[in-house]
Amino acid sequence: MPPQSTAPVDTAARRAFYGKIDKANISALWNNLANLVTPEPASACVPYVWHYNAVRAAMIEAGGLITAKEAERRVLVFENPGLRGQSKVTTSLYAGVQMVLPHEVAPSHRHSQSALRFVLEGSGAYTAVNGERTRMEVGDFIITPSGAWHDHGNASPDPMFWLDGLDIPLIQFLDASFLEHLPEDEQPINRPEGDALARFGANMLPVDQKRGATTSPIFNYPYARSREALEQMRKSQAWDACHGIKMRYVNPTNGDFAMPTIAACLQLLPKGFKSSRYRSTDATVFTAVEGTGRTRVGETVLEWGPRDVFVVPSWKPVVHEVDGDAVLFSFSDRAVQDKLGIWREDRGNA
């Protein structure tokens, strides 16, 4: 459809026509086309940063007010200032920080939504997914596939905090949400810890493994391994002007992103690095794992440090600048956009 440069002229006859068809729940496309098919992304999502120390203090306060079992999931949701009241960090994604206190269990359930966990603070808690537990350590990227039973527990003496990322708005948009609970708080464990990583995380696959699983069978990507890979790549000094060194978490059975609806990545930015301007159509949530720096999104400057979370809207020009070495974890809906063939980037011409 060609672009419409001016709004149609308003006349009495046209207003009468619009009123008549409105009674039959019909409207005229030409009155709404400019808002429906825009020349470029026009989201209400805005750049914003949530500083971890303030979020942590609020989580500790929440821990004195409600238990993990009563809340089902004790999470403080990051609501984008342009999307308040919708539990959205971007138009298609949800994010929040979850806390499990010592000796608590967040009870077992499963749902249509896919979820990721990125551990921010603590050691010794666990997530159980479909009969296997995995220990949670800072920087670990953990997946809960759609429809997978999962519960979280904390046997350590200290609270455990992690970033939650889910495709809740996308599943809500599709009217495809289902939720079930187990009678017990914790699901039965029938596989030894580390089983999934041993089978699928050593550049090998079981001999009869079939292709086509939409979600990675690895559900914990340990930070120690991922960080080591970035450090090895540093030796080549092949820094991408926009990303430094940026790697995506993959599904080893097919090479796709690890999750079908969420693309997750980890990147290393060396001391003093300032990226070239970049923009892409996938609004992206970042959290700093190591280091300090600032990200300019258009005219907005977001200052960040370890565990802070910030969001970059779709198609907004981005420049990262770091002080010392910095590591950023990020997630977006690029996995969906890639499959639909609509993902677009602009390297340096934003």
**Rounded to whole angstroms, how far apart are CA atoms 350 and 344?**
12
CA dihedral (103, 182, 261, 199) positive or negative: positive
Q: Indicate the helix (H) or strand (E) that contains 336.
A: helix 334-340
Shortest CA distance to 317 belongs to which of 238, 242, 245?
Answer: 242
- pLDDT tens by residue, 118-136: 999 999 899 999 999 999 9
Alpha helices of 152-288 — where are they, by DSSP H?
Answer: 168-173, 195-200, 223-234
Encode pLDDT of 325-346 as tens digits.
999 999 999 999 999 999 999 9
Phi-psi region of 183 (alpha: psi -120 to 50; beta: other; left: phi over 0): alpha
For the ranges 4-18, 156-170, 194-208, the maximum mean pLDDT occurs at 156-170
Write out pLDDT tens, residues 218-261. Answer: 999 999 999 999 999 999 878 999 999 999 999 999 999 999 99
What would the mean pLDDT of 142-159 be, rounded to a whole number? 95
Taking the CA atoms of 296, 297, 299 and 305 in sequence, report the sign of the dihedral they define. Answer: negative
Q: What's the pLDDT at 1?
A: 44
Is the pTM higher than 0.85?
A: yes
Per residue in 1-26, pLDDT (tens digit) is: 445 567 889 999 999 999 999 999 99
pLDDT grade for 202, boundaries at 50, 70 and 90: confident
Q: What proportion of the chain, given as a percentage, has pLDDT over 70? A: 98
Q: Please state, rounded to an integer, the average pLDDT across all residues of the chain.
A: 94
pLDDT at 350: 45
What local confidence, expressed as pLDDT, does residue 86 receive? 97
Q: Which domains does the chain have, with CATH numbers?
A: 48-347 (2.60.120.10)
